[in-house]
Amino acid sequence: MADLYGGVEAGGTKFNCIIASGPQDIRAEARIPTTTPAETLTQVIRWFGASGLPIRALGIASFGPLDLRRDSPTYGYITTTPKPGWRNTALVKPLQDALGVPVAFDTDVNGAALGEGVWGAARGLHTFLYLTIGTGIGGGAVVNGQLLHGLTHPEMGHIRLPHDLQADPYPGACPFHGDCFEGLASGPTLWARWQQDPATLPPDHPAWRLEVRYIALALVNYICVLSPQRIILGGGVMDSHFLFPRIRAEVQQLLNGYIAHEALGAGIDRYIVPPELGARAGVLGAVALAMQAAQAS
Amino acid sequence: MADLYGGVEAGGTKFNCIIASGPQDIRAEARIPTTTPAETLTQVIRWFGASGLPIRALGIASFGPLDLRRDSPTYGYITTTPKPGWRNTALVKPLQDALGVPVAFDTDVNGAALGEGVWGAARGLHTFLYLTIGTGIGGGAVVNGQLLHGLTHPEMGHIRLPHDLQADPYPGACPFHGDCFEGLASGPTLWARWQQDPATLPPDHPAWRLEVRYIALALVNYICVLSPQRIILGGGVMDSHFLFPRIRAEVQQLLNGYIAHEALGAGIDRYIVPPELGARAGVLGAVALAMQAAQAS
């Protein structure tokens, strides 16, 4: 019998919960709406208890920003989120106290990156990037086989990009930075710029030209800084799969042959790819975090 | 007696050579002009031979782009450089054949990052960035204690940044990307934009407002992607030390408090710093590379 792990993908609209040993062995799943911290965490705890399944460890892959510093008094907290009611909210301690198992804690995108590395599109690679483009934009990276944390954790959605105000007079929607990448290219930004549900925009709509441009500019910056072996693009916006070939072509055009590597030439179709774990990338990432925590404990 | 190592900092105008066990124990140094590969490499080999000092290993920290893939037929080469005569030039093999010691090979900025980590401004840190802003712009990073390589090596100078053409109509000087960071903010770009030696521009010249802006935008992007614990800024442009407080202030303004960490607040003076190894950061970085190679061999 394989050991079981709990995973919680803490998102702005729902908490996805899972009990599994991996993507081929999922024992239970639940979606719990994100309301108040007290209500949502109580329901999460109740669900794991009611499952009757013993877990060795729990992983939490959460929206952020997060405090990941073990020596900090607010370790395990969501910190400066603009989400109402969730600023400075403890996630780790209430779950650890209630469930009595080791609890791993990281960003949703670091979890997803780890999950894709263990079971998905980045198997066998040592340095890669997972990016989600949806309600928000965020990235998680594995470098030399380890999650990248550094000072805190990456905030890849908040890089600054060229913004041609003539081609796109939309000022950007990020409450902190205006026209950073997230402020220009998240799902809600598409809604706000075009006054229409982005899922209803046809593939030849001018919205996608701009969207491809911003995503490609961002990927070029990630490539120049991290030199990833592969980039995995997930999130709601990337469910429009016709974006992939356009993004690949624009990345090549922007790099203009400067970085001489087959992956950025003929191999580009295998370089910029969708997640293999699909909609479960986040919650299985939380399971991967739990497995790490169990090994370390 | 400490073991001695050879270091070669291969630059566009000169090859700096050193024999040392560390910054406190430098036995010999030389500057060899960068002319043709054959002539320059012959002089480097002759100098090490004539020194009469036995070295355990040699490190080469070179301008790039480089082929760092051990399994590649052109491993140890400078590849697509625009520098006349140096495209597709082997560096490792001629030096290894002539000197008969293990040879480590990496970018000049990865070498400098490693050197600052061993002896300089990044001692004790696990994740940090070294950036040079001079003839070119490049960055090297250590992540979780290891040099970041990934697919090839970072090309941090070639990220795309916001470029306000009204404030700065200069189109950018990068032959590959036009107005990437290097194309907007390198030393030669300052010359070209202001038709004046940048070293003679007074601190209140409008050139520096733009320069600070571009550097701060780039640092914000590196912070969002890599989350470094410290950023070390070297290179000829950064010899104008009055830039440091201005860059720090602009980085804080651009981040706008989004990343909650003391290092980006009250601690910013210790976060964005000059190299401690000064002008020897590159060549001592090559020595640090040599020490790694000797340990691995």
| Domain edges within chain A | 5-111+279-296, 123-274
User: Given B176, B179, B220, which is nearest A160 (Cβ)?
Assistant: B220
Q: Are B162 and A159 within 8 A, CB to CB?
A: no
Q: Is A280 on the interface with B (CB under 8 A)?
A: no
Q: What is the pTM of this model?
A: 0.94
Same fold, B5-111+279-296 and B123-274: yes
Give the tokens for residue A183.
């402020």
Say which CATH topology domain A123-274 has. Answer: Nucleotidyltransferase; domain 5 (3.30.420)
Question: What integer best gives the mean pLDDT of chain A?
Answer: 95
| Per-residue pLDDT, B297 | 75
Distance CA A115, CA A122 (A): 9
Answer whether A30's CB lies under 8 Å from A9's CB: no
Record the tokens describing residue A72, joined without a space. Answer: 């900090």
Among residues A114, A94, A121, which one has the least CA distance to residue A36? A94
User: For chain B, what is the total number of helices (H) and then of strands (E)?
Assistant: 8, 12
pLDDT, position B46: 98
How far apart (Å, rounded) are the C-alpha atoms in residues B292 and B296?
6
Mean pLDDT by 10 residues, chain B (297 residues): 93 95 96 97 97 97 91 93 90 97 95 96 97 94 95 95 96 96 97 95 97 98 98 95 98 94 96 93 95 88
pLDDT of residue B155: 95
Q: What is the structure's pLDDT at A60?
A: 98
Q: How high is the pLDDT of residue B81?
A: 85
What is the predicted pLDDT for the residue at A82?
78
Q: What average pLDDT does the segment A203-212 reach?
A: 97
User: Quick one: pLDDT at residue B190?
Assistant: 97
- CA B87 to CA A163: how far, in whole Å? 34
Q: Give residue-wise pLDDT tens across range A5-54.
A: 999 999 988 999 999 999 999 999 999 999 999 999 999 999 999 999 99
Identify the pLDDT of residue B235.
92
Q: What is the predicted pLDDT for the residue at A80?
A: 82
Mind listing the pLDDT tens digit for each residue in B22-42?
999 999 999 999 999 999 999
Q: Say which range, A34-43, A125-134, A255-264, B156-165, has the weakest mean pLDDT.
A: A255-264
Asked if B80 is an interface residue toward chain A (Cβ–Cβ < 8 A), one would say yes
pLDDT band, residue A81 (cuts 50/70/90): confident
CATH superfamily placement of domain B5-111+279-296: ATPase, nucleotide binding domain (3.30.420.40)
How much is the ipTM here?
Answer: 0.94
Query: Which residues have a Cβ under 8 Å from the Cβ of A21 and sit 6 or more positions away?
Result: A2, A3, A4, A5
Whole-angstrom distance between the N-terminal and C-terminal Cα of chain B? Answer: 20
Whose CA is closest to A274, among A136, A132, A154?
A132
Which residues 224-263 in chain B show a CB within 8 A of chain A? Answer: 224-229, 254-261, 263
pLDDT at position A65 is: 86
* Contacts with B151 from chain A: Cβ below 8 Å: 127, 223, 227-229, 259, 261, 263-264
CB atoms within 10 A of CB A105: 27
Cβ A65 vs Cβ B258: under 8 Å: yes
**What does the pLDDT read at residue A206?**
97
DSSP A179: S
Residue of B nearest to A257 (CA): B176
Question: Tokens standing for B39?
Answer: 């002539």
A140 to chain B: closest CA residue: B225
The yes-or-no verdict on residue A179 having pLDDT over 90 is yes
Helix (H) or strand (E) holding A19: strand A14-22
- In our burial notation (b when 16+ CB lie closer than 10 A, e otherwise), range A28-56 reads bebebebeebeebbeebeebbeebeeebb
> Per-residue pLDDT averaged across A254-281, rounded?
94
